[in-house]
Amino acid sequence: MNDFVLGVDLDGVCADYEEGFRRFVATELNRSPEDLPPITHWGYDEWGLNDDDFIELHSKAVTQHMHRHLPIIEGCTDALWRLSDAGIWIRVITHRLYTNWSHEAVVSDTVAWLDQHKIPYRDLCFLGAKPQIEADLYIDDAPHNIKGLSEAGNEVIVFDQLYNRELPHRRASSWEEVEELVTELAAKKVGIQTQIPGIDAGAERLSRKKSN
């Protein structure tokens, strides 16, 4: 069987960057998290941050290991295990290296986070500006990445967020919907069949195996 490679973005798809950043900004600027509303377009001007403020706060958050403590988006691990079990090649793709001088923290915190949440993956790619890296299908939340991927002729699923609602592409608003769409597209391309959702997803299998 040919491998079907699923390119999975991290922030805004697997990891709840916005919530993690909200917590950091609230502490750092001594503001209430309730004063930092869900963002409805790309960027953080709705929190009163211009691009320079964002870069400064983001860089500081990274050096304080924010990536290690980001909440996970519900259903992500189990869905990825089922897809992986079905033979889909999980390629984690992240664009986190866009600030200078903190690459060690970014890379080590990313790997630690993936382990902590038992996310299955066969490749881990840290990309710069280029949005694509030879996957059959991508899932992403960032409008500029989605446009770039799509314009280069790639299949992409938009992971629904308030700030990407204007994009016309195929969309999933939960990991269950991601799983359904990926299964459907992979079945068309390479004849893959997944486990039924809700049956043992296997996220705990490594710890079970270790304790046997």
Residues that bind Mg ion (CB under 5 A): 9, 11-12, 141-142
Nearer residue to Mg ion within complex by CB, 11 or 78: 11
Beta bridge partners of 92: 8, 124
Report the residue closest to Mg ion, judged by CB: 12
Nearer residue to Mg ion within complex by CB, 22 or 192: 22
User: Whole-angstrom Cα distance, residue 73 to residue 164?
Assistant: 17
Q: Which residues contact 163 (CB under 8 A, 6 or more apart)?
A: 39, 40, 41, 42, 141, 143
User: Whole-angstrom Cα distance, residue 10 to residue 29?
Assistant: 26
Selected catalytic residue, list 3, 11, 85, 109:
11
Nearer residue to Mg ion within complex by CB, 7 or 120: 7
CB of 17 to Mg ion, least distance (A): 7
Q: Which residue has the tokens 């969309």?
A: 171
- The helix/strand/coil state of 202 is coil
* C-beta separation of 206 from 118 below 8 A: yes
Beta bridge partners of 11: 15
CB of 126 to Mg ion, least distance (A): 13
CB of 59 to Mg ion, least distance (A): 17
Two tokens at 91?
């390629």
Nearer residue to Mg ion within complex by CB, 81 or 159: 159
* C-beta separation of 93 from 127 below 8 A: yes
CB of 67 to Mg ion, least distance (A): 12
Selected catalytic residue, list 3, 9, 115, 160:
9
Q: For residue 140, indicate whether it is catalytic.
A: no
Residues involved in catalysis: 9, 11
